[in-house]
Amino acid sequence: MVSLNELAVSTHCDRYILGHEYEVHNQPEAPGINMHFHLLRWLEILRHHVYRCALQPADYLFPAIGANGVAKPGSPIPHDTIQKWLNEFILAS
């Protein structure tokens, strides 16, 4: 998973090749898939409703959620969970 620290813009191409950083451009002509727009909204939700404080560089964009429904700031969603969701999405499409 990607932490907020990994979203920083870098001039080093190696980081892009390794998949640690991304350039996310605004695509207002395609609002349904405009990742720039949706990512900014998600960051606001994280700050105000999930973490309830300023985001820290080590915070995960998609933190694990405990059984009690509370986000675990230092833990990403497990890979197996993401893969399960992707498989379900693909089967339903």
List the one residue out of 43, 50, 48 whose CA is nearest residue 24.
43
Q: Which residue do the tokens 């994280």 mark?
A: 46
The model carries a pTM of 0.64
Give per-residue pLDDT as tens, 39-84: 999 999 999 988 888 988 888 888 998 899 888 888 889 999 999 9
Q: Give the pLDDT band (50/70/90) at residue 4.
A: low
Q: What is the pLDDT of residue 16?
A: 54
Q: What is the pLDDT of residue 9?
A: 45
Q: What is the pLDDT of residue 86?
A: 93
Q: What is the pLDDT of residue 72?
A: 86
Provide the 10 A C-beta neighbour count for residue 7: 15
Give per-residue pLDDT as tens, 5-47: 555 444 455 555 566 677 888 999 999 999 999 999 999 999 9
List the one residue out of 59, 47, 66 whose CA is nearest residue 7.
59
Q: What is the pLDDT of residue 73?
A: 81
